[in-house]
Chains A and B, each alone.
Chain A
Amino acid sequence: MNSALFLALRRLRFPIILLIAVYTIGMIGLVMIPGVDENGTPWHMSFFDAFYFMSYTASTIGFGEIPRPFSYAQRLWVTFIIYLSVIGWAYAIARVLGLLQDRGFQHTLVQQRFGREVRRLREPFYLVCGFGETGMLVCRALDRMNVRFVVIDLREDRVAEVDLQEFQTDTPAFAADARFPANLALAGLEHPACKGVLALTSDDSANLAVAMAGKLLHPGVPIICRAMNKSVADNMASFGTDHIINPFETFADYLSLAINSPGKHRLVDLLVGEPGQRFRPAPLPPRGHWVVSGYGRFGREVVACLDREGLDVSIIDPAPALPGRRYVSGMGTEPEPLRQAGIEQAVGIVAGTDNDVNNLSIAVTARQLNPRLFVIVRQNLQANRALFDAYDAQLNMVPSQLIADRCVALLGTPLLARFLMLARAQNDGWAEDLAGRLEALLPGRVPALWDVRLDLDEAPAVYRALTDRDSEVRVGTLLRDPAARAEPLNALPLMLSRAREPQLLPARELRVRAGDRLLFAGSVAARSAQRTLLQNVNVFDYVHRGREIPGGWIWETITRQRKARRS
């Protein structure tokens, strides 16, 4: 029930009773005290006259002495009740204002409005827990994708930030602790339109709590979690969290790819970038001696990756000692430790502490000592972006950006994660070849990616053709231009997933079945052309069989009759 109303009623109980009492006392006095009319005969006010008089006197409207001039006895009483009623009203109004300013009451009001907004959502939405740098980047991307979302964050100032972002749609946002299931439920965790939960707070244990609550309270809803620690990530994986993003591990993986399989690295770069943007292949880190400054969570992952690739690594860290490693104790911000770590002979440096100024200082000093260095620098805060842009390192590692990009890729094209996993198992030549084909498709640009499920919702035209008429539809059919069927669309089928059995790069001759899921890459125009083909029966029939079908019931009937007559 409406708890704010109840709270207000309970708090205002005494002022209301006081007002009723004041009115009653005033009215009884007015009714009982006799007046004298111009003939000298006594008269009494009726209850209604008294109520009318009290109403306009107590509210200080003051119409005068109605129904006829008062006697002195009446005026004496009226003087008394005027003061009484003014005090009564002043007290009641003060209580109402006090209630409105009460933080608890305001919180209840905001909470109720938020709950109502969430309950009223009819379109599918994502629940974003944590509106820090990562959360904000993800929300902006979701907004660009025209997807709705609900935000909860622990901090009130961040929630206020949601309104300042000027998203296209009204975004319900609420300051609450996401660790408590009640708050998650209020934010729509159990809402049937909730399409996914993103736990992006900076607190691993909070993300874990969100993942757990999501799994139990809304089974089947995909959960994407940010995890900075391996043990937490393992814990999340143990109960089936769908995607766990550890930015450091993800970056180390990416670095491995860049070192040992340039083809796959190029392919990943092409597929994960923002569609339509100019494609700038990331420079490839060279083999040789590397210096890693900062041996924290990030440093460890990078060193492990460089070790795997068999590269020679020396570490600079303030920690006392690391047995069994080439190690210099100190900060990498001064030239001496860098020299000791062999910066002059090194091919690359990783500035990976958790302090942006230190990282830049390390990178600048190192480049002064050895201008040919390949520099990888970790940028912890989005706010320092201008500095890092000005420095222009070969690789810039921004954890929040990395997580956001991953989230967007996973949400926008759920098949992509699967595809990337399978592509990893292929050899590098295969990846090189595919990257080449993708680049030929859209020279110098990042292709758009999209996935399609051949069902009644996403592809009604194809679905009807497959189920009702049992016709043969091939992958190639879905890639013809709806304007001229002989022309192929500017797109490439990357994967076909049938009953969880994926097939990479399906041939154009392959027959599709209802329920298949396909992943395509191509131009944005090809994507929208394909959408009309999938949804419009007439367009699909033209592309599929090469003839225009008369639209509308009348023409359809006439054609059917004509056909029947002919046969």
Chain B
Amino acid sequence: MNLEKVVFGFFILLAATLNFGFVWGDIDDPAHHDAYELFCALVVSLIATVLKFGDRTQIGAVHLATSLVADLQLIAAAVVWVSAANSGVPVSPEQTANIVSLAAGALLANLVSVTLLVVETVMLRR
């Protein structure tokens, strides 16, 4: 067992699960989507990205690309939330749907990342 692989797999999976947890629920109901969860998803996704730095293989490059996409989507969701929450009126269902759909895009990228992880593991057969 390789500790590096454990940490790597842990962060990739955690990024996907947190992302999923944030997206889960009615898309336009602010009560179903928690700011802490989005924050954690973003941080874990960033850490997962940094962990993927420096792998020169083809699969490593795709890994990094998926992570960058997830980061971009989550940051976009966070920016939308910040501007919506500080405009003086409560966050509307439309804005919530907007934020959650951006995070759902990140979820797709994270799922690809997890799939890659699984494929890589199956290919190794060890």
Chain A: interface secondary structure? Answer: helix
Contact A6 B47 (CB under 8 A): no
Contact A9 B43 (CB under 8 A): no
- Interface stretch (choices B19-27, B49-57, B95-103, B112-120): B49-57
Contact B56 A1 (CB under 8 A): yes
The number of residues on chain A lying at the interface, defined by a beta carbon within 8 Å of a beta carbon of chain B, is 21
Contact A17 B82 (CB under 8 A): no
The number of residues on chain B lying at the interface, defined by a beta carbon within 8 Å of a beta carbon of chain A, is 15
Contact A46 B82 (CB under 8 A): yes
Chain A: CB-nearest residue to B82 = A48
- A48 cross-chain contacts in B, Cβ below 8 A: 78, 82, 85-86
Q: How far is the CA of A158 from the CA of B82 in the complex (A)?
A: 59
- Identify the 8 closest CB pairs spanning chains A and B, nearest first: A10-B54, A9-B53, A48-B82, A24-B43, A16-B50, A9-B54, A17-B50, A47-B39
| A325 contacts B by Cβ under 8 Å | no
* Given A13-B51, A13-B54, A48-B86; 6 other pairs, CB 8 A cutoff: A9-B54, A17-B51, A21-B47, A27-B39, A28-B39, A31-B39
In the complex, which residues 50-91 of chain B have their Cβ closer than 8 Å to any Cβ of chain A?
50-51, 53-54, 56, 78, 82, 85-86
Chain A: CB-nearest residue to B46 = A20
23 residue pairs A–B, Cβ–Cβ below 8 Å:
A1-B56, A6-B53, A9-B53, A10-B53, A13-B51, A13-B54, A17-B50, A17-B51, A20-B43, A20-B46, A20-B47, A23-B43, A24-B43, A31-B36, A31-B39, A46-B35, A46-B82, A46-B85, A47-B35, A47-B78, A48-B82, A48-B85, A48-B86
- A525 cross-chain contacts in B, Cβ below 8 A: none
- A13 cross-chain contacts in B, Cβ below 8 A: 50-51, 53-54
Chain B: CB-nearest residue to A10 = B54
Q: How far is the CA of A9 from the CA of B64 in the complex (A)?
A: 12
In the complex, which residues 3-20 of chain A have their Cβ closer than 8 Å to any Cβ of chain B?
3, 6-7, 9-13, 16-17, 20
Contact A7 B85 (CB under 8 A): no
Closest chain-A Cβ to B48's Cβ sits at a distance in Å of: 10
Q: How far is the CA of A59 from the CA of B53 in the complex (A)?
A: 24
Q: Chain A 14-46 against B: per-residue CB contact (8 Å), 1 yes, 0 no?
A: 001100110110011001000000000000001
Q: Chain A 441-485 against B: per-residue CB contact (8 Å), 1 yes, 0 no?
A: 000000000000000000000000000000000000000000000
Q: How far is the CA of A17 from the CA of B54 in the complex (A)?
A: 14
Q: How far is the CA of A6 from the CA of B56 in the complex (A)?
A: 8
Contact A6 B54 (CB under 8 A): yes
